Structure 1
């Protein structure tokens, strides 16, 4: 009896428990799904709006790029056309008639001793000015940021105050001073003027950038026995390379494209390319076969410099924008 009862009980228990998996499967099929993993899909309307917004931004950037590139393209094509072709039709006709283009204008430009001398004068003015401003500003910026000396903050305030002094204010006084020392009308005189007026902004820029360097880095270098010169050359300069590259680009472009200072401080033997082209326009009026290639040459060099240092320039502009 006991055995039969036990068997009957076991069989009933097994029969009662048997439908449990089927019930679980039915319950799972009734809508109890496991939670989904991964990123939820965005609605179609939101995706279309994002795509349209991105397309509008890209279209706007393309239009801006075309607005900036078109004058340079027109100048380049005009520099490759003859004076007769430029007088007869617009530069855009060269896009459908490439037979108009030739390098004769550049050959004539290189044969013009005045233009070629002005080009090298521009190089002799721009390169030393840029190097001098960057070197002096880097040294002064490090001193104002991390060295302790009497009157440091007051001297830095004076340097910042010089930023508001317009270039036009110092033209006549500096011209008289350079004339007294025999540098008026020479390339060194033009270089000194550009260096003097470029240093306030350069020192202000590099000082603020160097001041963002963590103090712990400099203290660790000093504890390792590094002197100030070693810290400056081995630590500060590599860290500040983006800001230094940006400063060098700005300074070079400003000096290369300058005409006001060169027009006053340079004579016929030391005039840069901007003044030489301006004198050609004044003398010959429509001397397009010289003016167009000369102007494009003056434009091409800054473009080459900018694209060569574009990576460092972007890093310098973005420095400090994010932590």
Structure 2
């Protein structure tokens, strides 16, 4: 599927409560926002040193963050890690590492990759076959995929990277959800080979999306090129402090992975009670595919429960995890209301 010039225009994403209020003006407030894949159980907040706000960030602190991130993600060393204020700002910069040519995105997936590649001057198209990506100058894979959780094996990605590298191309693997994915499929440890950029998001798994922190893992020359573009002080002091502490906290991470797995299983069971099939996802979000996805989105929205819907895929929804018990109860009540209304409609048709 070829993408038009409109690919450069930003599209709607989850997490916009202002848009939710406009869509559902009479919904009870506050919304239970399940439209993102952000962990509702955030890393514990702590008191920042005053210097994190009053002074410009020290280069040594940035290097410490890179080292901790390399250890956490499995990159060869700190020299293979470029830290940035969120992965979003990295997308067009990474796409610009290759001269404008043909960019192929394994889809359907997160729309911002196609937009960023178009901004960088590439002719962008979406493909559904991994092998088709070998024809690209710039190939982009989200792994695990957003929104369906599809995972491409490390072996297949390394073969693809080799094919691209042989002709001066680049493979970009967005591992934003690999914190809860199969770590053996990560390419973080392979970036030293060249021709590979792995993106890692901090805010999703650690539940601190507003902090704006992300990483590009690659060979040392590519990392140096990206850091030159950023210039000094690209990562704010508070993000440095949280990144260093949270990425080094392996105990919290292991406990959180278990908790998220339990929550995802609980959400699947709740959907199953009301006949809603879960077709995939990760433990941070569930992927729903059903004929009446639009009806479910609207019915829950009217009750203050916001899911992620997709204008180009009307039979698909993505549901994040509720956090507090009150949010679980509101979701259950909203699903019961939708189910009752569906039963009433079926009886009317039967008459």
Length-normalised TM-score, structure 2 = 0.23
Larger Rg: 1
Identify, as 1 or 2, the structure richer in helix.
Answer: 1
